[in-house]
Amino acid sequence: MSAPHSSASSQSTAASPASPPEYVLGTGSDELARLAFQHRLWSDAAHAAWKLAGILPGHTILDAGCGPGFATFDLAQLVGRAGHVFAVDESAAFIDHVASQSRTRDLPNITALVGDVQNLAATLTPAMRAHAGRGGGGGVGADLAYARWVLCFLKRPDLAIAGIAAALTPGGRLCIHDYFDYESMSPGPRRDSYTQIVAATAKSWRDRGGDPDVMARVPALLRDAGLEITHLALHHRVARPHETMFHWADTWWRNYVPKLVQMGYVTEPQQAQFFKDLDELAASPTSFLVLPPVFEIVAVKK
């Protein structure tokens, strides 16, 4: 873990003496590039949800599980210099990227924090108080929080939601994008190798304490945390080989399937068959991929 540091544009702060476990998909350059591409493809859904939640200049925002910060940068631009974004992630490498890019992009209204979103109070509360004490933009407490593909990787999503709820001001809103019915993704025509890899992926998440169907549990967790759902929707996309969404799935599998082999969830022959089938699907003008369902929730703090 790196020592805490700060600048005019951002700060990176350790949450505890022991680093939280690293992001299950890794934090290397391959995953950084994949996440950048993924954000480009899903930024339309993110911006629409933020608009629905009433994001405004001057707002204080919490980006919970921000990763390398691609949504963070958009949020910081939307709230302007009068607002502020607190970006929290367990990965010091990702937070270093947020801090560096905040300076490069001249976004001084970002505070980047290394911390476990299942224990937000340890990191976020002191940072918010310190920021308010310096007379920074935004207020004490978040007007809007965002969590995209975060809860599905957590052992205790209930603690994350409770922590986010505590950080929101009364009337503040939480936007969530995450999975339910993850294993329904499939190619057309179906391939046994694809079914096996999807099942292995879901098992690898569950074995680490995650839940690829987490959105089935989220409404009850929101209720228990004092949040009321005002919007529930589904983004279920289909991709053909010539479309960029097909490339999104392809880059995901090129990155993650070798990790499944390394972790012992699939064999090298299974990997070889899967990529052979994926290449054949990509070369066929009549094939398509059904992508995993992404559910969208906006909830308000009562």
The more confident residue out of 255 and 145 is: 145
Task: Report the mean per-residue pLDDT for the chain.
Answer: 90
Tokens of 193: 């190798």
99-122 pLDDT, tens digit each: 999 999 999 999 999 999 999 999
Which three-class secondary structure string do you get for 81-113?
CCCEEEEEECCHHHHHHHHHHHHHCCCCCEEEE
pTM (two decimals):
0.89
Whole-angstrom distance, CA of residue 235 vs CA of residue 43: 12
Model confidence at 135, in pLDDT bands (50, 70, 90)?
confident
Q: How confident is the model at residue 33 (pLDDT cuts 50, 70, 90)?
A: confident
CA 85-87-88 angle, 5° bins: 150
Segment 149-165 shows an average pLDDT of 97
Domains in the chain, CATH or no CATH each:
5-182+209-238+292-301 (3.40.50.150)
The strands making up 288-290's β-sheet, listed across from edge to edge, are 186-188, 288-290, 238-239
Nearest alpha-carbon partner for 301 in 168, 117, 116: 168
Q: Select the highest-mean-pLDDT range: 7-16, 36-45, 282-291.
A: 282-291
